[in-house]
Amino acid sequence: MIKKKPNKKKKMYFDANVQAAIVKYNGSKNPTYRNQIYQQDIAYAFDKLAENIINTFKFSYFDSPFDDVKQEVVSFLVINMHKYDHTKGSKAFSYFSVVAKNYLILHNNTNYKRLIKMVDINDMKTHNKFIIGANHESNLLTDFTEELIEYFDVKIPTLFKKDIDVDIAYALLELLKRRHEIENFNKKSLYILIKEMTHVNTAKITNVVNVMKKHYRKLFDKFYDVGIVE
């Protein structure tokens, strides 16, 4: 009988040790020590993360060579490393994966829009790759919406003091979760659905919507900058 060799587990390039190193890096103010931590424990993980995300999502609208784009992503991760807060429960790998992906999506879309102005509309029909830019933009909004839902799911009880306002906010959130099932997802139809769910007047709904809108704008700005809602 031939004995099967046990499968060796691949060593993760971005594991708990890398996360611990990032926490140490953020906790130190000594430039020499920070540089040492980065070079020994973080640099390879960031480099590999950027490489994998670029290869996975196949971004089409970067004129720069692959290595230059990868270096841009790594630099962006380093610049935003101080924004990672392990006490909020997010894993460093997930956090920086989203940051890197959204950085690439935003810049890919910018390049796509610049290119689209230079191409005749009739020529676009013959190039399926032009659709990719729109798809990345759609993915970005989808990611933001999912994170927005998680944020409000936790924060609603602290944003509103009155029980009725909390009920209205959760009704809004429920509709947002079920947005793909709702055929006519506009303001008028949503107000009607919320009224049916909560039995309140339009003025109360508007007050709650306005509060959530303020948070929406701030969160989207943060998401645009760092690629994640904290």
Classify residue 132: in a domain, yes or no: no
Average confidence (pLDDT) over 26-46: 94
Domain count, the chain: 2
Classify residue 17: in a domain, yes or no: yes
CA-CA distance, 179 to 190, in Å (whole number)?
A: 10
For residues 148 and 218, the answer to whether their CB atoms sit within 8 Å is no
Average confidence (pLDDT) over 65-80: 89
Classify residue 136: in a domain, yes or no: no
For residues 24 and 42, the answer to whether their CB atoms sit within 8 Å is no
Residue 6: pLDDT above 60? no
| Least confident segment among 65-69, 103-107, 164-168, 206-210 | 103-107
Average confidence (pLDDT) over 87-114: 79
Phi, psi of 59 (to 5 degrees): -70, 130
Classify residue 7: in a domain, yes or no: no
Classify residue 3: in a domain, yes or no: no
* pLDDT band of 148, cuts 50, 70, 90: confident
Name, in order, each residue with C-beta under 8 angstroms of 182's C-beta and a sequence gap of 6 or more. Answer: 175, 189, 193
Classify residue 158: in a domain, yes or no: yes
Q: Which residue has the tokens 């690629």?
A: 227
Classify residue 124: in a domain, yes or no: no
Total-model pTM: 0.52
| Least confident segment among 15-19, 141-145, 156-160 | 141-145
CA-CA distance, 151 to 37, in Å (whole number)?
A: 32
For residues 108 and 130, the answer to whether their CB atoms sit within 8 Å is no
Residue 183: pLDDT above 50? yes
Q: Which of 156, 1, 150, 14 is nearest to 89 (CA)?
A: 150
Helix (H) or strand (E) holding 134: helix 130-159
- What's the confidence (pLDDT) of residue 44? 95
Residue 101: pLDDT above 90? no
Residue where a domain terminates, one of 74, 101, 118: 118
Q: Which residue has the tokens 């989207």?
A: 220
Q: Are residues 18 and 109 in the same domain?
A: yes
Question: How many degrees, rounded to 5, is the angle at CA 74 between CA 73 and CA 75?
Answer: 90
- What's the confidence (pLDDT) of residue 176? 83
Classify residue 33: in a domain, yes or no: yes
Q: Which residue has the tokens 């959130």?
A: 173
Q: Are residues 77 and 159 in the same domain?
A: no
The more confident residue out of 187 and 98 is 98
- pLDDT tens-digit series, residues 103-131: 888 776 665 555 444 444 444 444 444 33
Residue 59: pLDDT above 60? yes
| Least confident segment among 19-33, 108-122, 151-165, 166-180 | 108-122
